[in-house]
Amino acid sequence: MKWALIGASNIAGQWMVDALRACGDEVVAVVSGDAQRARTFANAHGIPHALDQEAALTGLGIEAVYISNTNEKHEASVLRAAANGQHVLCEKPLAVDFQAAIRMASACDTAGVVMVTNHHLRHNAGHRAMREQVAAGALGRLSSARLSHSVYLPKPIQGWRLTDRAAGGGVVLDIAVHNADSLAFILGEYPTHVCAMTSNTGMANGLEDNAMSIWQYASGITAFTHQGFNTPFAETHLQLHGDAGSLHATGVLSQAPGGVVALSNTSGRTELPLDNDNLYQRVIRNMHAAIAGQPHANADGWAGVRSLAVAHAVLQSAASGRTVEVAYG
Ligand code: NDP
């Protein structure tokens, strides 16, 4: 499949170009708002066409676009691709504005193109193993989840995330969307209510760099989630607890494959075997399946809408000091 990259971004260069090629796809063009940055990116990654506007993609035979410009720009790029009949892999959060995200998923539906939200974490082997254990009833009746996804924002991406809400900055829009998707993938549901507190610990400029929240699910599960940019020495954890067993995962909330998942129950503690492989390649292979009309495990456009709804609820709750119902639209 022939792809164009919309955005000369860090993630495109670090992960996605290699992932697309490893899946047998072709990266035909990169589009940047700055012609020189497009050229530099194209040279660094051996991409034939370096463009400074999406309109210049016409005639290149582009079948799919990977959109990783800053979040307020995703909508225009998705609408353009849908209108051109191109399949869409869009970065998370889908948008800053919730209604924009709905317009994006709707436009792809109307155009009959596949839309994927790049919630790669659900493809982590630990996530998949946890989902299987839950589905098989290994934990009995689930009561709670604890998700600790506080990291240290690496220097090369300490730009708009720390300063610019309009571009989707702040730890909630950046990380809570992933957490909502991870738990939805494993539990099969999204929270109905959210209660949150956020803080600025001095790393971000006028935005939250730390957020803790409690999410309530219709099934009765409550989940505690922690998202942070500001913890250089923290490890990530994901735990699920039921009356017949608990799952304890470390290192499964990462871009790289890996992590450990252990099941604790009356028989003791057993580490689960994990078939680790590249998360982003799994996103692309699942997208190929969706385009072929086959079952797939990706987060689609509407999953991206729902994860954004949860992040918005976290921000609303933190701002109001009240528990809020998640508005899924
Ligand atoms: P970057 O800051 O690297 O890139 C975003 C945009 O910023 C680029 O498209 C580019 O604009 C512009 N830009 C990049 N470098 C420079 C520079 N040196 N000077 C001026 N402008 C520059 O963002 P990320 O790669 O961190 O994130 C991009 C998207 O991907 C976001 O939506 C983010 O949330 C998401 N993301 C998702 C991850 C995942 O695992 N799913 C992980 C990391 C990010 P232009 O296109 O005009 O050149």
What average pLDDT does the segment 71-100 reach?
98
Q: Does the structure show a pLDDT above 90 at 156?
A: no
Q: Is residue 17 included in any domain, yes or no?
A: yes
Q: Are residues 139 and 271 in the same domain?
A: yes
Which pLDDT score is estimated for 281?
Answer: 98
On whether both 136 and 189 belong to a single domain, the answer is yes
Last residue of a domain, one of 80, 101, 119: 119
In 3D space, the residue among 62, 12, 48, 53 whose CA is nearest the CA of residue 33 turns out to be 53
Q: Which residue has the tokens 């607890």?
A: 241
Tell me the per-residue pLDDT of 268-314, one tens digit each, with 9 for 90 and over.
999 999 999 999 999 999 999 999 999 999 999 999 999 999 999 99
Clarify whether residues 125 and 115 are in a common domain: no
Our count of domains for the chain comes to: 2
- Four-residue CA torsion sign, 231, 208, 12, 127: positive
CA of 11 to the centre of ligand 1 (A): 7
Angle at 249 between CA 246 and CA 253, to 5 degrees: 140
Nearest Cα residue to 188 out of 223, 219, 146, 213? 219
Domain CATH number, residue 202: 3.30.360.10
Domain that holds residue 38: 2-119
Question: Do 61 and 200 reside in the same domain of the chain?
Answer: no
Are 151 and 256 part of one and the same domain?
A: yes
CA-nearest residue for atom 6, ligand 1, is 69
Mean pLDDT of the chain: 98
pLDDT at residue number 104: 99
For 171-201, what is each residue's pLDDT tens digit?
999 999 999 999 999 999 999 999 999 999 9
Instruction: Let me know if residue 180 belongs to a domain.
Output: yes
What is the spatial distance between Cα 184 and Cα 200, in angstroms, rounded to a whole number?
28
What's the 161 CA to ligand 1 centre distance in angstroms?
10
Residues 196 and 218 in one domain: yes
> Residue 249: its pLDDT value, please?
98
Instruction: Give the domain-ending residue among 101, 119, 137.
Output: 119
Whether 96 and 45 share a structural domain: yes
User: Is residue 283 one of the residues assigned to a domain?
Assistant: no
Read off the pLDDT of residues 201-253 as tens digits, 9 standing for 90 and up.
Answer: 999 999 999 999 999 999 999 999 999 999 999 999 999 999 999 999 999 99
In a domain, 295, yes or no: no
Pocket of ligand 1 (CB under 6 A): 7-11, 32-34, 37, 68-71, 91-92, 118, 120, 157, 159, 174, 255
- What's the mean pLDDT in 75-86? 98
Does the pTM surpass 0.85? The reply is yes
* 312 and 193 both lie in a single domain: yes
210 domain-assigned: yes
Q: Please give the share of the chain, as a percent, with pLDDT higher than 90.
A: 99
Q: Output the CA 10–ligand 1 centroid distance in Å.
A: 5
C-alpha 126/C-alpha 128 separation (Å) is 5
Domain boundary among 119, 145, 179: 119
Greatest alpha-carbon span in the chain: 63
255 in any annotated domain? yes
